[in-house]
Structures are given as structure tokens and as C-alpha cells.
A and B are shown apart, each in its own frame.
Chain A
Amino acid sequence: MLNYIIRRILYAIPILVGVNLITFTLFFVVNTPDDMARMQLGIKRVTPEAIAKWKQERGYDQPLMFNNAAEGLEKVTRTIFFEKSVAMFAFRFGRADDGRDIAYEIRTRMLPSLAIALPVFVLGLIVYITFALTMVFFRATYVDFWGVVLCVALMSISSLFYIIGGQFLISKLWHLVPISGYGQGLDSAKFLVLPVIIGVISAAGANTRWYRTLFLEEMGKDYVRTARAKGLPESAVLFRHVLQNALIPILTGAVVIIPLLFLGSLIVESFFGIPGLGSYTIDAINSQDFAVVRVMVFLGSLLYIVGLILTDISYTLVDPRIRLE
């Protein structure tokens, strides 16, 4: 298995280089280093000298990807792409365009993101699986029918509606929790209730239907018939047999997103004033801060690859027939 993991890590390198290249190209198609300088220096009374100096200090005065003026290998190495990428692959994220340390920001913003994403993930799994099993248990009854109708309805509504509706109903009308904000330590708990509830409900429709489908497929298999024939109660059939055997597809969807929980949610954090990494990314995009955008995309792809490797490993844990070679 170790060989397999090493091989997967090596495969990840070209993927990360490719992602970095695409991010770089897309970003600089839209923004030039001059635009970035203007954005940082302000739009009033900005002189060309100030722009030139800003670019020089941050290394944006080089050609983007190919330096005609340089000699030999430096044609490639003395470029913005190479110089910025090498440092990032060494996990030296440097400074944002406003001069602030990116690694420091990531460290301080990771916890607020996780404080929402982790409860949403854990609670979500519990709620969706329970709901799906309930529907399967009562299949072909009104519970199943109205459950599916509810899932389709939940899927059809935009996540923004849940946020605005939730804020209106729970915070504005019923005055139960704050509309938005974030606190320190225990004080932050009351701010998390609403985004977590909304996070769970907004994804409930799609996930529950997906899990229901998985469970129904399992229900038709021989081992379920055998279990019933043995006279096992339906609850035992569902929770002891069907749930265990449906774990592999559940893991496929769940484990892969665990590392990405650190990156937070763009919209939820923005609407609830959570100072996490999602809102950091939004801010960076709005202020054309390439240094931050690049790092966040890099981290996103890296964590996704880590998630995929973890998924593979978890297969071996839940299904002894699977070997990673």
C-alpha cells in the first residue's frame, strides 16, 4: 500500500503544476500586473512611477512566462510564473499584495472555517443517512413518497434562499440567534447555530436522495433476503447489514471532502460574517490579489488530491477484498 501511496503522491505533482499553470494563465488573461498595482495603490493620483516601483518590489516587472531578454535557462526561470510557483511548491506562500503574510492569514482563518464546515459535515452525514434509511424502511408508504417530494423540493431551492430565509425567520422574526457575526471561544457557538442548520438543510435534498438510492440498491441483494429469511428484524437488516455494505459509495463522497473542509464556504462565510478562508478567497478575488488566489487554488487542489488518497485508503478499511497495489 505504501508503494501505491507514494506513486499517487508523485502523480499529484504534474496535476498541481497543471492547476497552477491554468490558474496563472486565467488570472493574467483578466488582470495584468499593472491592474494589480492600480488596485493596490488606489485609483486616485497613481503615477506610472509608483506602478513601476510596486511591480518591481513584488517581482511583477518580469515577463509572465518567457523572458526573451534572458539567456539560456533563465529564459524560463526569470519569469513571474517560475519565480512565484517555485516558492509556492516549497510551501513558502509569501505575502499578499497588500503586504500581509499569507501563511499567517491561513492559520488564523482555518479554525473559523472548520468550526462551521465540520459540524455541517458530521451532522449532515447523520441526518442524511438517518433520513434516507427511514425512507427506505418505509418504502412504498406515504413516508417514502412525501420524503422524496421533500427532497426534490429542497434540491430545487437555491442555497442563497436558505441563507436569507433562515436569517429572516430564525434571527429576524423569532430572535433566536444572531443574524451574523463571530465570537471568540464559547461565545462563537451562538453564531454557528444558524449557519450549521442552514448548511445541513441546504444540502439535505440531494444527499438524502443519493443515500436512499444506495440503500435501495443494497436492499434488493441476496444477503438482505437471507437476513430477512433468518427472521432478523427490519432494523437489524438495515443498520447491521445494508448500512455496512453501502459504506463504500458513502465513503467515496464523504472522505474526499474532509480535507476540503479547511477551505470553508464562500457564500455562507460571506453572509454570516465568518472570518474564514472562504471569505478570504472572495476578498482576494475582489481585490485581484493574485498571490492569495494562487495559494488558495493550490491548497484546494492539494487537499482534493489528499482527499482522494484518503478515500482509497479508507476502501481497504471498510472492504477487506480491496488491495491497493
Chain B
Amino acid sequence: MSNRVDPNLIKELREYGLKDAGKCYNCGNCTAICDLSTPENPFPRKMVRYVQLGQKEKILKSPEPWLCYYCGDCSIRCPREADPGETMMVLRRYLTSLYDWTGFSKKFYTSEKFETTAVAAIGILVGLGMIFWGIANHAMIDWKHADVSSVWSTAGMEIADLVMASILSFFLLTNLFRCVKLVMGDYFKKVPLKMYYEEFKYLLVQFATQKQFDGCKTKGNRARWIAHLAIMTGYATIFLLVVVFLNGLPFMGINFLKFQRGWASMGHVNEISIFNPLRLLGYYSFFALMYGTSYVIYSRLKKTAPQFKNTHSTDWMFLILLQATAITGILINLGHIFNWVFFSYAIYVIHMMVAIPMLVLEVPFAKWAHLAYRPVVLMLMKVKGRYISEYEEIKGAVLEPEVAL
């Protein structure tokens, strides 16, 4: 069976940011230098060759793009300046759009116009919704104390948050399911569920620590890992605090986790000090996000390393929204503390206008989605490897002949 060449793939990938893959003469220096490439899953050369030969089917089934953390060694070593690291990045974008069954992701990645319009539209819709909600609720608004819950009830917000989270989870999980099926191929049905269950811990560890990221031994990689970890932990923490525990999920009886609270001096009853662990976690999130995003924005502006040289429009969008979310978030808190009433309400609306498009668009359809794909694929590789060693070798089955590329 011959593999049909899709000569247009390389052109299609240009919209995802592909630049120099055509220059590659397949010497393999990139694969040799890569700390994360393994004999079972060699990259980036193989992936570059797939791109050159228009092997869309093979790319779709490849776990390799998710195994790469883009340390940039390959791009430094590449004698042809073909930027293999960037090709891997492009393939992550491409795969994200292929996993997405709605087709929304593809549009988001391939059209800057669509991207900005979508972000702006959702932002404006959210803003308008918030304002209308406020107007409808104007009788209850506390103009003496900066108390956003008097305008937009905490319980209502939490419900809205949870509804949104469920919808996003639905999209993300269905996309993730497609990813799992594609990456596992024939093994999807073969591997017993128990094995997935047993390796789930590995997934959680990878998710929380991104240990694999630290596997790249390039100089300066640790700083990037720390910045990456800061963004991830900062965002995950504040996501839990704000989206899940805004009102402390009263129906589950864990009110003590309630995040949105007032000040006694302002007439609220369930106040907590700024030194309360919940608050401290919030501050950690702010500083972590600010450190991480500033580090990346600075690096991308100065193009300090190969992975910061090529910035796709979606990368900027992601960073800007993320940093804006963090800044508006801390401003809400400041407004609260210093009791700047109108400021607090206005910034709350803006915060929502930034944070929600960020969540809605980026989590299931764009860059944030890798928070799911990466650890899951890592786990899948572990599961697949275990299955092959435990089952197939005992049965004497021969591994699929893989040509080392």
C-alpha cells in the first residue's frame, strides 16, 4: 500500500505558522540532539518528513508533537535552519484543530480575522450581559461598599461559571477522546481499562509538575519550565478558586472554600483576612501568572531563544488575555480592599470580558487545550509501552516495524 502524498499539506500548514520545513534535508541532527526523542517515538525528523511528503494520516496518528516541549535544541543544531522545533509547534496547532470536531479550532488558527472577531464578540457579549444583569438588579446595588456580589450575586455567578465549565469540558473531553483514539490506533481497543486506571497517577503527576518538561537539558530550559509551571499552577489555582469555589459550592457543604467574600468594615459577615490561605492562594496565582506571562512576553519580544522567535497570532492572543485576566483580577481585589466602589464594578465587568473569551476559546479549541493533550498523550505512551511489553512480547508478537527516522 502506497501512502498517498498530499502535496498541498505543506501549504495548508503555512497558515498554522509553518515556515522552513521545506529546507530540511533529513540529516537527523535534530533527532540526535533531542533529549526527549526515544527509539519508539523518534522526532522531530520523522515529523518533518511527514510534513514534506504530505502524510496527513500519519501526522494525525502521531503522539510525537505532544512529547516535545520545544526546548529549541533542534532548531539551534539544524544545519539548514529548517527550524524543526517550530515545525513541531505548528503540528501541535494543526493537531489541536484536527482533534476538534466542531471545526472551530481550525478557523481560529488559520484566520487572524476570525480569531480577533471571536474574542471581541464573546468579550462584548459578556460585557453586555453583565451590564444588563447589573441594570436589572440596580435596586440591590450597594454604592457605599465595593461589593460585587450586590450587583451580580455570587450564587448566580457560580452557577453561570459551572454551566460554562461543563460546556467547555464537554468540548474539551470530546476532542480529547478523539485524540486518544487517534493516538492509540489499534491499541485503543486492545489495552484493558485497568491499565489506564493504573497509569492515571502518572497523568496527574505530569499534569501538576510537568516533569517531562525538565527532561530537556538545554541551558535556560529550567527557567522556561519554571515560568511554564508558574502559568499553569497559577491559572489552575485561580480557576478552581474563582470558577469552581466562587460561592464555595454551598450545596456540597464546603462553604469554607467560598472565595468571593466581603469585609466586615464594609458590612459583610463572612470576611477573611488577606492572610487567609484562600486569599494567599489567590495572590500566588496573580504573581505566578504575572511572572510567567511577563517572562514569555519579554522573551517573545526579544526573541531570546528559538522557541520565542516565531510567534503565531494565537500565541499573542493567549498571552495578552492571560495577563489581562490576572491584572484585572488583582484590581478587583484592590478595589475591594480600598473600597473603590464604581471602579470595582467596572473592573469586574472588564475582567469577565477578558477572562471568559480566554476560557471559552482557548481551553477547548486552542492553546490551553494542550493542558489536556500533553499529559494524556504522555500517559498513553506509557500505557502503550506497558501493554506491548506485558502482553505482546509474551505472546511473541512482533512490534510494528518502525523505521528509525
Answer yes or no: are A and B bound together in one complex: no
Binding site for B on A (CB under 8 A): none
